[in-house]
Amino acid sequence: MGLRSAKTVIEVRNYSFKYASSEKEILRDLNLKFHEREITILIGPTGCGKSTLLKSLIGLIPHMYAGSWSGSVMVDGMSIKDCKISDLALKVGYVFQNPENQIFMFSVERDTAFGLENLGMERTQIRDRVDWAMALMGITNLARKPPHELSDGQKQRAAIAGILAMKPRVLILDEPTSLLDPHTALELIRLIQDLRDQLGITVIMVEHRLDLIARVADRLLVMDNGMIVEDGTPREVFAKDNSSLRNIGIPTITRLYQALNSLGPKGDVPLTVDEVADLIRQKQKKKRSVSA
């Protein structure tokens, strides 16, 4: 299960939630730990509770949404229920699916500074943090540009810079690549990996494009009907015979491997074309040596 031995950053214990407007519990008795430096992908069909879980990890639930809940969510040892959202923002950063919902100032640098200004941080310290975050995201050259003149990939980077400036321990992203072309999406995924490696932050992402992202994830959490139905490395999860997996976007190449069902030992499920190509070549070689 990903980086099981690393330090726990977020702990969800016996957690259930029901929106005030609904009859049904949307999250049902969840027990989960997120660890330091772990990249987790959260996946599941529409309406399974992914977004509600994310909202619970950043404190929007229970602070902004009406509903009934039980159990606990602890971030860095603090109970979310007893924390102010402004304190939580320093621990957990959230990047919206559409960066346009997040960036709104007149320039990229003002936008990056927005969160820190609201916390009343000293001016020189804000300057340092903003420069640091923009450099990390490779957008220093865009500092003076108005956000609406940026490309979609640049907007996404600007949105992440504004969050990183707060130096959170956990970065949560809701489908960060959905608006990006595949090439720019891959660049963003590599950047997220670098952030983890350099800063040691924990990353939790909702993402449907497993073709691109499964190979970089330490852990895959599959949700269905308000519960976690699978939890493990992508290879471990894809090796399972669980009907809930049919509704998630298992990479094409992994599905091909499963359909062939004779390429290699169970458990070693491939995630890339190169891995499957190697398995086929090995088979072909074996056959040739047998016939010789």
Partner 1 sequence: MIRFEKVSFHHPNGQMALNDVNLEISPGEITAIVGENGAGKTTLVRHINGLLKPSEGEVSVLGMNTRKVSIAKLSKSVGIVFQNPDHQLFSDTVSNEILFGLTNFHFGETASKERLEWALEQFDLKDYRERSPMMLSGGEKKRLCIACILAWEPQIIILDEPTVGQDYFQKERIREMLLEQRDAGKIVIIVSHDIEFLWPLQPKLIAMSSGSIIAHGGASEILSRDDIIQRSKLITPQLLELWKKVPLDGPPASDVKEAAERISNLSVWV
Interface positions with partner 1 (CB under 8 A):
44-47, 51, 97-98, 151-153, 175, 178-186, 208-209, 211-212, 246-253, 255-256, 259-260, 273-274, 276-277, 280-281, 283-284, 286-288, 290
Smaller CB distance to partner 1: residue 179 or 199? 179
**Closest separation between CB of residue 179 and partner 1, Å?**
7
**Closest separation between CB of residue 272 and partner 1, Å?**
9
Strand bridging mode 39-43 / 219-224:
parallel
**Closest separation between CB of residue 173 and partner 1, Å?**
14
**Closest separation between CB of residue 260 and partner 1, Å?**
5
**Closest separation between CB of residue 284 and partner 1, Å?**
5
Nearest CA to 199 out of 235, 160, 153, 148 is that of 160
What is the residue type of 266? K
Smaller CB distance to partner 1: residue 14 or 252? 252
Smaller CB distance to partner 1: residue 93 or 153? 153
Q: In 10 A of CB 286, how many CB atoms?
A: 10
Q: List the structure tokens of 171.
A: 């970065």
Please check whether residue 161 is in contact with residue 112, taking contact to mean a CB–CB distance below 8 angstroms.
yes
Smaller CB distance to partner 1: residue 84 or 288? 288
Smaller CB distance to partner 1: residue 129 or 209? 209
Smaller CB distance to partner 1: residue 47 or 200? 47
Dihedral pair phi/psi, residue 170, rounded to 5°:
-125, 135
**Closest separation between CB of residue 267 and partner 1, Å?**
20
**Closest separation between CB of residue 153 and partner 1, Å?**
6
Smaller CB distance to partner 1: residue 72 or 258? 258
